[in-house]
Structure 1
Amino acid sequence: MTERLARDVALEFIELYNDGTPELFGSERVWGLYHEDVDWHEMPTRAFPAGRTGNRDAVLVATRGAAVALRNRHVTLRELVADGNRAAIMYTWEATIATGDFAFLGLGPGDIMQMEIAQFIEVSGGKIIRSTEHLCLGRLSP
C-alpha cells in the first residue's frame, strides 16, 4: 500500500471539516486524520494568549468546546504547498457567533467571525503527527 502524502491528508482535512451541519461542523472522521499522540500547537491569539498545545484529545476538547459558541463553521482553501510528508495549508475560516463569548472582540450572536489560518502539518502512517496553526483575525461583521 502506498503511503498517504501530506497533500492528500490536507485535502481530506478540508473536505471533512466542511462536511457537516450548522451546529456540528465537519464529519467526526476529520479527527481520524490526527494521530492520537499528535504534537498540536495553536499559536497565541487574543482568546488564548498563551496559545494551546496537546495531543488529539486537546484538539478535540478545543474544537468541541467551540461548538456551542460558533455555528456554520467553514474553511476555504487558499493555498496548499506540500513536499512528501509535510504540507503548508493556508485557508480562510469563517463562523457565525452563537453566544456572548466573543464580546471582547465586539461580536455578539449572529455576527460573522473570519480568520486567516496558516497550518503546517507533518504526516506519518497517513496520520497528522505534528500540526502548528497560526491564526490571524480577519473580517468581523458586527
Structure 2
Amino acid sequence: MTHFDDKARDLMAALESGATGDQLRPFFHPDAVQVEHPSRVVPAGRTRALNAMLEASIAGARLFASQRYDIQNTIAVENRVAVQLRWSGVLAQQLQDHKPGDVLEADVAMFLTYDDAGRILRQESYDCYP
C-alpha cells in the first residue's frame, strides 16, 4: 500500500464512523471537487465544491442510521487512488418506497486525486445501484 491508499482508507473509515461536515474538511483541499457520474439515484450526475460536499454529508447522516464502506480493492498510481467498494446504508427515515430500517446498497468505483499534502483535490465516483 502507498501513503495515498492509507489516506483513502482513512476517509472511508471516517465516513463509516459517522463523520460529517467540518470533521471531513481535513481530508480535502479547499478547492476540492466531487463528481458523481449519472446513476439511478442521480440520473443527471452532479459536481460539487467542498462546502456543498460537506453539507451533503450532514444531510446524508440524517437520512441514514448507519453506513458501511466495504473496500474490496485499491490501486494507487502516483497521487491517484482507485477504490472499488460495496457501500450500504441503513435508512433512518422514509425515502421514496423505502422505509426506516431498509438497507440500500451500491457497488462503487471511486477515483481520488491527492495533492502533495495528502488532501483530496478531486473525488470522482461511479455508483451502481442494483
Query: Is TM (by shorter chain) over 0.5?
Result: yes
Contact 1:92 1:114 in 2 (8 A): yes
1:135 equivalent to 2:122? Answer no
- Give 1:22's aligned residue: none
Gapped runs of 5+ residues in structure 1? 20-24
Partner of 2:62: 68
CA distance in 1, matches of 2:92, 2:48: 26
Q: Structure 1 residues 58, 121: CA separation in 2 closer, same or farther (over 3 Å shift)?
A: same
- SS of match in other structure, 2:47: strand
Rg: which structure is higher?
Answer: 1
Q: CA deviation at 1:73?
A: 0.9
Stretches of structure 2 that go unaligned for 5 or more consecutive residues are none
Percent of residue pairs bearing the same amino acid type: 24
Alignment match of 1:18 (pick from 3, 13, 16): 16
Contact kept, 8 Å, 2:13 with 2:69, in 1: the verdict is: no
- In 2: Cα distance, 1:5 partner to 1:46 partner: 33
Correspondence for 1:78 among 72, 76, 89: 72
Moved over 4 A (4+): none
RMSD of aligned residue pairs (Cα, Å): 1.8
